[in-house]
Chain A
């Protein structure tokens, strides 16, 4: 096993262009790393195919009634009702949603519902991020606030959302300010923000506290107050912590949206579709799986969009070593 580069090498390549042995190239990603990106994407896709293969393999060799130890079912049943073929799932996506003559195709319906849920999740994400950032700022500035609030923030995530959702809807239905009427989807967005604010507040707090004492004292020596230090030092330093937190918050917002939709039964959302279709498994085994694919898709899109936005703040992540 060859070891990685030694400190000597790092010193060499840090020398400005012109020193012996170091040629500079343009900033475009060179061929090697583009191949690496394609390779990673290819393997990722292969991994998903592999999971599908395992599913079919188990269906092929697994026992019909599943494997039970006494009363407990250890391995699932392999009949087409319980574990439909992957092809069945995809076929069902192409078929019409209902028996009615003007019904849209399944995948069309799934896309519509997914888009709606994604929109609600985005609103929830924005609220959650704002609240999380505000909390983190307060906690960073006031140490007492941090020690008072932080344990409750952590505790807040032990509450099963599914129980809170109907409550939020009831509260919302009582709110009427002028012409503004609280709609059900807003309750869902609020629940989503509840799940989203947690990683943001923790990540932002860690990030705001991350600068070296050296740097903080440097700014103090410049005679600069808390606000300027915040903008020039703490916020840039917190970017490496914020970006993963924002991605996690996006995924959480989607999950929270779906859970809340299930709990409230929000019309038009993918969560409700999951519950509606779940009951149909008896006659239509491929049906419950369609909205599941939709849910995974919007989760990945949400995290991906944040990742793309993060590209614009790349220079604040220079110190990071990749995991």
Chain B
């Protein structure tokens, strides 16, 4: 990302921008006397957030767990299927239309029928929704990465009479690794969003999505926003965790 966007000027500008925006927001709410059901002030949201830290935390754990399962399943399936598709052209052609449809499918549409198929009293449907949301970017990016092998490396493996699996392990997968990470990074915050959205549609009243609906139904808008804040933080945590792992694994690569 560094090469594509040029060196950044450090963390100060975005932090400054965020701070200024928060200040303006607070000012606007106070000066224009905006009602909380339209837009609560940052301080009100912050207050609710810290007062209800326990419930925010416990709900985040549930949503986070669902997202993690979804991330794991989607990742494994996505990478495996991409490897198979890159090896067997028929599989690639067969799955092209299905993957294209999956890319445009709003997960939100599947949530109700999935609750019907799996029991509505458990977390399984939400984990599946998250897996599906994760599968698509991981599959697409992994497949792209598996095709990036440089011809000179392909020739090298052939000249050394390396077997198919040796070639995959020595050259294809390491070349694909940056792309796989890109896919997983995109998928990480999608997993959280998908889990939250799935929680809107029924299932047990647990998790951040459920908490948002409950608070909104009780007209406690600052609390609902506090839960939204919680889900943003959860998504950010997932994203940064994957980013950190990515930086560490790819630390020795040159351009």
Contact = CB atoms under 8 A, between A and B. Distances in A.
- Asked whether any CB of A lies within 8 Å of a CB of B in the complex, the reply is yes
Interface string A142-184: 0110111111101101111111001100110010000000000
Interface stretch (A12-20, A91-99, A229-237, A298-306): A298-306
B117 interface: yes
Given A83-B117, A148-B17, A258 B6 contact: no
A171 to B, nearest CB: 7
A44 interface: yes
Given A147-B14, A274-B109, A323-B144, A155 B97 contact: no
Contacts of B10: 147
Interface in B11-69: 13-14, 16-18, 37-39
Nearest to A45: B97
A206 interface: yes
B87 to A, nearest CB: 11
A289 B113 contact: yes
Contacts of A43: 90, 93-94, 96
B109 A40 contact: no
B154 A303 contact: no
B83 to A, nearest CB: 15
A269 B235 CA distance: 29
A299 B105 CA distance: 7
A205 B3 CA distance: 12
B96 A47 contact: yes
B189 A158 contact: yes
Given A47-B97, A291-B109, A171 B103 contact: no
Given A47-B96, A50-B94, A303-B100, A259 B232 contact: no
Nearest to A301: B104
A39 B96 CA distance: 12
Say which size band chain B's interface belongs to: 35 or more
A296 interface: yes
B109 A292 contact: yes
Contacts of B14: 147-152
A296 to B, nearest CB: 5
B194 to A, nearest CB: 9
Contacts of B232: 155, 158-159
A105 interface: no
Contacts of A255: 104-106, 108
B143 A146 contact: no
Size category of the binding interface on chain A: 35 or more
A262 B108 contact: yes
B236 A44 contact: no
Contact of B118 (A40, A66, A259): A66
A4 B14 CA distance: 47
Contacts of A288: 112-113, 116
Contact of B17 (A152, A158, A292, A295): A152
Tell me which of B94, B143, B200 has the highest count of chain A C-beta atoms within 10 A of its own C-beta: B94
A99 B224 CA distance: 40
B8 A48 contact: no
B147 interface: yes
B95 interface: yes
B216 interface: yes
A157 B100 CA distance: 22
A103 interface: no
8 contacts: A73-B122, A143-B9, A152-B18, A158-B193, A160-B212, A162-B197, A262-B108, A296-B105
Interface of B: 4-6, 8-10, 13-14, 16-18, 37-39, 90, 93-98, 100-101, 103-106, 108-110, 112-113, 116-119, 122-124, 143-144, 147, 151, 154-155, 158, 189, 192-193, 196-197, 200-201, 209, 212, 216, 224, 228, 231-232, 235-236, 239
The 7 A-B residue pairs with the shortest CB-CB distance in the complex, in nearest-first order: A299-B104, A44-B97, A278-B112, A158-B235, A148-B13, A43-B93, A76-B117
